[in-house]
Amino acid sequence: MGESILITGGRGMLAAAFAQLFESRGIAFTLLGKDQLDIADTAAVAAAFKEHKPTIVINCAAYTKVDHCEKDAVLAHRVNELGPRALASASKSAGARLVHFSTDYVFDGSLRRPLLPTDPIGPASSYGKSKRAGEEAILAENPAGFLILRTAWLYGPGGANFVATMVNAARAGKTLRVVSDQVGTPTYTRDLAAAALSLLDAKASGIFHATNSGQTNWYEFTQHILRVFNIDYPVAPISTADWFAIKPDSAIRPAYSVLDTSSLTSACGYEFRDWQAALSDYKPVSGLV
C-alpha cells in the first residue's frame, strides 16, 4: 500500500484481525495498545503522530462493555467520544486518513428492515450514545478524511466475545437463557478488517455499514454456535422483558439492527459472506477446540 499504518486498541480482537490481515499481505504497520496510547489524551496522540508519522490511522480502541457503560457513562464517553475526536483532529492536521468503527447501537431498533447509513439515529443506551457522539466528533473535526464502519455482534480470535462466552458456559454446565427477540447479524472480525482494507484501497470515505450477511437472533445464534462446536447442550429462549426481570441494570439493545451493507459493496466491490460460513471459519482459530 505504500502507507504508514497506525492501529490503536492494539490488544483487542479487531486489531488482531488487522494484524493478521496485514501480515498475510506483507503490509507494515504499528500496533499500539491502550497501555501505549491513551487515545483520549491529546498530548499522547500528538506524540504518537510525531513518532510514527501515520498516513492511515485505524482506530480499534473502544469501550465496548455495553452494560458497564450504563454504570460509567463518563468513561464510555471518554473512550468512545473524546478518543475519536483527538484522533480525527490529529489525522486532519497530519493529512492522514482515519478509519473508525461504530455500532448498530446508534439505532433505536424500531425499523423492521435492513438499516441504511442514512437512516434516523436514535441510540437508547449509554454505549450507543457514546458511539454516536464519537461519530459526530469525527464529522466535526475531520469531515473529509475519514471512514466510519458501523458493525454489529462482533467476534473473533484475540479477545472476549459472545461466541467464546457461550461455548465456555456450555462446557462449564451453566444454564443458558438467551434472548430470542433481538435480531441482528453476527460479524467476524477478519471479514470486517478485509472490508475496511477494500474501502481504503478504493479511496472511499464516509459512513458505511459492515457486517456479515443474513440475520438471526441471539437464541438462534447460540444454537448454531453450539452445533458448530459440536456441543449438545440445552439453550432456553427468553424475551427481552424476561431478561430485564433477571438483569434490570442491563443496557437497552435494539430490537432489530440488521445493517444494509450495499453501499459498502458499491463503493469498493467487497461482498460479505453469510454469517454461518464466517462462524465455521472462526472455529479452527478460536482457541476453543
For residue 125, the domain's CATH number is 3.40.50.720
For residue 24, tell me if it sits in a domain: yes
Mean pLDDT on 109-138:
97
User: Is the pLDDT at 283 greater than 90, yes or no?
Assistant: yes
**Are residues 10 and 29 in contact, defined by beta-carbon separation less than 8 angstroms?**
no
CA nearest to 92, candidates 51, 128, 48, 140: 140
pLDDT the model gives residue 119: 97
Q: How far apart are CA 215 and CA 206, in angstroms?
A: 24
Average pLDDT of the residues of the chain? 96
pLDDT the model gives residue 289: 73
- Whether this model's pTM surpasses 0.95: yes
Helix 83-94 with 42-52: angle, nearest 10 deg: 40
- Active site residue: 127, 155, 270, 282, which one? 127
Mean pLDDT on 108-128:
96
For residue 85, tell me if it sits in a domain: yes
Annotation marks residue 219 as catalytic: no
SS3 label, residue 160? coil
Q: What Cα–Cα distance (Å) separates residue 125 from each residue in 20, 254, 286?
A: 32, 9, 30
For residue 244, tell me if it sits in a domain: no
Q: What Cα–Cα distance (Å) separates residue 41 from each residue in 64, 97, 141, 228?
A: 19, 19, 16, 42
CA nearest to 182, candidates 119, 117, 104, 247: 104
Cell of 67: 452494560
Residue with cell string 479452527? 284
Strands 154-155, 177-179: parallel, antiparallel or unpaired by DSSP? unpaired
**64-114 confidence digits (pLDDT tens):** 999 999 999 999 999 999 999 999 999 999 999 999 999 999 999 999 999
Domain extent at residue 11: 5-161+187-212+258-273
Cell of 74: 463518563
For residue 237, tell me if it sits in a domain: no
Q: What Cα–Cα distance (Å) separates residue 166 from each residue in 43, 173, 231, 239?
A: 40, 11, 10, 18
Across 200-215, b (16+ Cβ under 10 Å) vs e yields beeebbebbbbbbbeb
pLDDT the model gives residue 26: 94
Q: How far apart are CA 48 and CA 149, in angstroms?
A: 23
pLDDT the model gives residue 214: 98
For residue 97, tell me if it sits in a domain: yes
Number of domains in the chain: 1
Instruction: Tell me 115's DSSP state.
Output: B
Q: How far apart are CA 206 and CA 136, in angstroms?
A: 12
User: Is the pLDDT at 271 greater than 70, yes or no?
Assistant: yes
For residue 178, tell me if it sits in a domain: no
Mean pLDDT on 6-14:
96
pLDDT band for 1, please (50, 70, 90 cuts).
Answer: low
**139-174 confidence digits (pLDDT tens):** 999 888 899 999 999 999 998 999 999 999 999 999
User: Is the pLDDT at 2 greater than 80, yes or no?
Assistant: no
* Residues pairing with 43 in the sheet: none
**203-233 confidence digits (pLDDT tens):** 999 999 999 999 999 999 999 999 999 999 9
pLDDT band for 129, please (50, 70, 90 cuts).
Answer: very high
**173-205 confidence digits (pLDDT tens):** 999 999 999 999 999 999 999 999 999 999 999
**Apex 139 CA angle, 135 and 142, nearest 5:** 125
For residue 269, tell me if it sits in a domain: yes
